[in-house]
């Protein structure tokens, strides 16, 4: 028997995305925050959707989580609901860039078990281990390309009776893993028609607690859910993609064109921000403030910028 269905979710809303002050990370590890209370509620909404919605069929039988606290915490409501352990897997851990000051090494199983009783040692978490030197975009994609076939053979040997699993991971890894599963050649490719795209505008979406699904068809996999968030009270939030580099640039050009906002393009041109990083959050706040300032001055965005870029979807077209 082989694995037939995979669900992939991003973790919920992080505590360090709230205004400071921030409590120390429970594990004491850099960049390993817990969920915000709101993120905990999102995780519960995700679990409820998976357990109760007829759209989720078949149901996951086992859960694999990134070793970072926020992912294990997101996994917990579902693990409790379906009464299964949480297996930790470093192969679906966070993406940290090479130029980062600190490349965090995640908590051990022993430490995680002090916080989460569902964490199990019955799975070797080191199918693939991300480099502690950091990764660029090609590295995280290569990691996921290496991880997925290794995981399949290892998993099917250990659990031949299980047909459906759930991964809980991070935005960048969720996207890179999905593109590897679907046999694309990189993380910035646009989805083709057979995967619900048109080759021009559609990417894998990665909002908080968003859900993807993949079904096996012989030697290939098809995409079902793509960043599904209809079950969340506030819908999609904190969506991120590798294409955000160009998305941020084009939004800044819109600001200059439509609002006369002075924008420093150098940080935007430098590189893509890590999902959920301080730089990512600061950029989102800056864009929100610019939009609020424009609105307060009664600038008609549609009149001034409408001919420049028609929609966020067009931004995404340009992004890749």
Is 10 among the domain residues? yes
What is the tally of structural domains in the chain? Answer: 2
Say yes or no: 35 and 162 in one domain. yes
Is 214 among the domain residues? yes
Say yes or no: 40 and 98 in one domain. yes
Name, in order, each residue with C-beta under 8 angstroms of 187's C-beta and a sequence gap of 6 or more. Answer: 137, 140, 141, 172, 175, 176, 179, 242
Do 62 and 86 touch, CB atoms closer than 8 A? no
Mean pLDDT of the chain: 87
310 pLDDT above the threshold of 70:
no
Say yes or no: 178 and 88 in one domain. yes
The predicted pLDDT at position 299 comes to: 47
CA distances (Å), 118 to each of 6, 13, 91, 209, 229, in order? 20, 21, 19, 19, 25
Is 231 among the domain residues? no
Tell me which of 169, 192, 223 is where a domain ends. 223
Say yes or no: 218 and 258 in one domain. no
Say yes or no: 58 and 116 in one domain. yes
Highest mean pLDDT among 21-25, 266-270, 285-289 belongs to: 21-25
Say yes or no: 19 and 128 in one domain. yes
CATH number at residue 24: 3.40.50.1240
Say yes or no: 209 and 302 in one domain. no
Q: What is the pTM of this model?
A: 0.83
d(CA 121, CA 161): 20
Is 38 among the domain residues? yes
41 pLDDT above the threshold of 80:
yes
Say yes or no: 77 and 168 in one domain. yes
Using DSSP, state whether 124 is helix, strand or coil. coil
Is 233 among the domain residues? no
The predicted pLDDT at position 254 comes to: 54
Name, in order, each residue with C-beta under 8 angstroms of 240's C-beta and a sequence gap of 6 or more. Answer: 171, 172, 206, 275, 276, 280
Is 237 among the domain residues? no
Tell me the per-residue pLDDT of 67-79, one tens digit each, with 9 for 90 and over. Answer: 999 999 999 999 9
Is 42 among the domain residues? yes
Do 128 and 91 touch, CB atoms closer than 8 A? yes
Tell me which of 193, 223, 253 is where a domain ends. 223
d(CA 143, CA 159): 23
Say yes or no: 172 and 297 in one domain. no
Is 143 among the domain residues? yes
Q: Could you check whether the bond before residue 176 is cis, i.e. omega within 30 degrees of 0?
A: no
Say yes or no: 254 and 211 in one domain. no
Say yes or no: 149 and 282 in one domain. no
Say yes or no: 166 and 65 in one domain. yes
**DSSP H or E stretch at residue 88:** strand 86-88
Residue 260 banded pLDDT, cuts 50, 70, 90: low
The predicted pLDDT at position 295 comes to: 60
Domain of 299, in residue numbers: 244-319
């Amino acid at each position: 028997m082989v694995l037939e269905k995979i669900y992939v979710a991003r973790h919920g809303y992080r505590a360090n995305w709230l205004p400071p002050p921030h409590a120390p990370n429970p594990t004491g590890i850099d960049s390993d925050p817990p969920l915000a209370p709101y993120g905990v509620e999102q995780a519960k909404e995700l679990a409820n959707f998976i357990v109760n919605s007829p759209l989720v069929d078949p149901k996951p039988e086992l859960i694999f989580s990134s070793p970072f606290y926020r992912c294990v915490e997101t996994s917990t409501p579902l693990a409790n609901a379906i009464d299964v352990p949480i297996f930790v897997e470093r192969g679906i851990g966070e993406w940290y860039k090479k130029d980062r000051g600190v490349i965090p090494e995640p908590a051990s199983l022993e430490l995680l078990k002090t916080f989460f009783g569902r964490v199990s040692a019955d799975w070797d978490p080191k199918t693939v281990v991300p480099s502690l030197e950091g990764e660029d975009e090609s590295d995280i994609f290569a990691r996921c390309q290496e991880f997925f076939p290794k995981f399949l053979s290892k998993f099917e040997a250990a659990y031949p009776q299980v047909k459906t699993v759930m991964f809980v991971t991070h935005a960048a890894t969720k996207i890179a893993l999905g593109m590897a599963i679907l046999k694309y050649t990189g993380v910035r490719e646009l989805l083709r028609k057979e995967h619900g795209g048109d080759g021009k505008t559609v990417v894998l979406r990665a909002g908080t607690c968003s859900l993807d699904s993949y079904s096996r068809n012989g030697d290939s996999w098809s995409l079902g859910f793509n960043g599904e968030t209809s079950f969340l009270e506030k819908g999609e939030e904190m969506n991120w993609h590798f294409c955000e580099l160009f998305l941020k640039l084009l939004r800044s050009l819109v600001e200059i064109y439509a609002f006369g906002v002075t924008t420093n393009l150098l940080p935007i041109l430098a590189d893509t921000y890590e999902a959920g990083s301080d730089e990512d959050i600061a950029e989102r706040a800056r864009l929100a403030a610019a939009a609020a300032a424009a609105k307060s001055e009664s600038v008609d965005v549609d009149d001034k910028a409408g001919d420049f870029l028609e929609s966020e979807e067009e931004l995404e077209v340009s992004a890749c």
